[in-house]
Amino acid sequence: MNWPASAIRLASVTFLSGTLLGLTTACEKANDLGLELPGTSPINSNYRDFPVTAYTVRQQPVETIKADHFLVGRVADTKIGVTTAKSFLNVQIGMPSDSLPSKYTETKLDSVVLSLGFDQVYGTATRPLRLDLLQLQQPLGERTVYNSQSQVATGSPLISDFAGVLNRDRSVRQVVAGSTTDSITVRVPDRVIRMRLLRYPQAAAFATTAFAALNEASFDQARLDAVVKGLAVTPTANAQTEDNLVGFSRNFDTRLAFYFHGKASGKTVSTRHVYAIYFGNNPTQLPADAKFFTQISTTLAQPLSGLATPFQQVPASATGGETYLQEGVGLGTRIEFQGLDDLKNNGQLNIGLAELRIPIKQYTNGLFPYASSVYLQEVNAANQVLIRTVGATDYERLIQVENSSTGAVPPTSVGTPAAATLYPSYSQPQYYTVPLTSYLQSYLLNRLGGELPSGLILSPILRNNPSLTLNRTTLDASGIKLRVYFSQLK
């Protein structure tokens, strides 16, 4: 990163970054900045923007196991390429045992509906999501680690090329305000894709076999796993549609429901009932939710095709001065700071505040929303995140917050990573910003407690983050700056 490792004259001072962000010139009175430099009288205060060399990098795989969403679909864009997502889901008993068909007599299966509730659409919602539904050959292993690159064996499709409508509305009754009896019918978005399995021969055979198991008096989770095994929901293999990719949420709209008639104990009339199976979103408290994960692959377009191998990098000069951050896909931006030797060589400087400014390429969120946060990973020359060992546990080295509710956080600590937050603006380009004062001081003094990083990777996700989206930010690489405020002594 061309950051000097030897000591310079540093003053440990505290600033309000909100005040400093308002500066528009490079030279202000020190008192206006609130500098409190012991034992000396600075005559002015300045800031300098240090440029960076930026690259787009790819860090794979991405952790997608038991995330808050599972993704399905295929979507193309001119910047990155074609991204494909497939989901693999174990099933789980979801309702009390007294709701099972085995608790009724003379049961008759009416309908079996696989419902998938969604709240994210990347691409167009005016065209349907084309889906295949398959059964897993074996349930996902409890001791197996799955991520965005994992492969799972499936059987032949239960349903092929299903058209999941994404822009359907439904009618609901709402009580008129101020009334307890009057109501009106309104149209609201229907954000659920429903597959009626009995309409398709292969799916119908699967559904009736599963229903027969539900009628067994000894039915339990092990029996469910043996019969259903698990499901895969993938973009259709019969047509290379690249229209949309959808994020399905872990709410109770997502389930496999068996609708049937049966007679309750002591009753002579058969009534309608439902029993539902869930996918890691079980409404009943169990020791652990069912496993599921999303497999994500991207056929990268030029010039990013060089990132097909993880940890490779493409310079911003090859991508029109842009670099990228994208969740799910594993894209990040590597930065290397330039020119910090100037701070080391001037012994009359007192560093007051440093902050990283990361400008966004404007109007680039039409297909993917901007990432909400950016984390800073310390990496070596091979773009591998450095490790810090605390006790017997290894942690990835992330730049920590400058302070917290419990006081100052040392740069060598773990557990409180700094997040560069999106600075909203309607009158000027948006950007992310994060303070780096303590980190810069520790770096220059070689006090990071381990190997010095050769660069930082700006990543939109943490490895243990349960959120899974495809949010992406295109950065104006030439505008990324480390702004350092300092005071010149007499």
- Per residue in 140-164, is it b (16+ CB within 10 Å) or e — as a string? beeeeebbbebebebeebbbbebeb
Average pLDDT rounded to a whole number, residues 37-48: 58
| d(C-alpha 443, C-alpha 482), whole Å | 14
| d(C-alpha 285, C-alpha 402), whole Å | 39
The whole-number pLDDT of residue 405 equals 60
Question: pLDDT exceeding 90 applies to what percent of the chain?
Answer: 64
Q: 309-335: per-residue pLDDT in tens?
A: 888 999 999 999 999 999 999 999 999
The whole-number pLDDT of residue 183 equals 77
| d(C-alpha 377, C-alpha 395), whole Å | 11
The DSSP 8-state label assigned to residue 19 in this structure reads H
> CB of 398 within 8 A of CB of 417?
yes
Burial of 50 per CB tally in 10 Å (0-12, 13-18, 19+):
buried
Average pLDDT rounded to a whole number, residues 49-67: 93
| d(C-alpha 279, C-alpha 248), whole Å | 11
- If phi > 0 it is left, if psi is from -120 to 50 it is alpha, else beta; for residue 415 that is left
Least confident of 260-274, 421-435, 463-477: 421-435
Q: 239-250: per-residue pLDDT in tens?
A: 778 999 999 998
Q: 196-248: per-residue pLDDT in tens?
A: 999 999 999 999 999 999 999 999 999 999 999 999 999 999 777 899 999 99
- Model-level pTM? 0.86
What are 262-269's contacts with CB under 8 Å, separation 24+? 262/101, 262/104, 262/105, 262/106, 262/107, 262/108, 263/104, 263/105, 263/106, 264/103, 264/104, 265/103, 265/105
Average pLDDT rounded to a whole number, residues 9-36: 39
Helix (H) or strand (E) holding 183: strand 183-189
Pairing state between β 154-164 and 403-404:
unpaired
- Per residue in 311-339, is it b (16+ CB within 10 Å) or e — as a string? bebbebeebeebbbbbbbbbbbbbbbbee
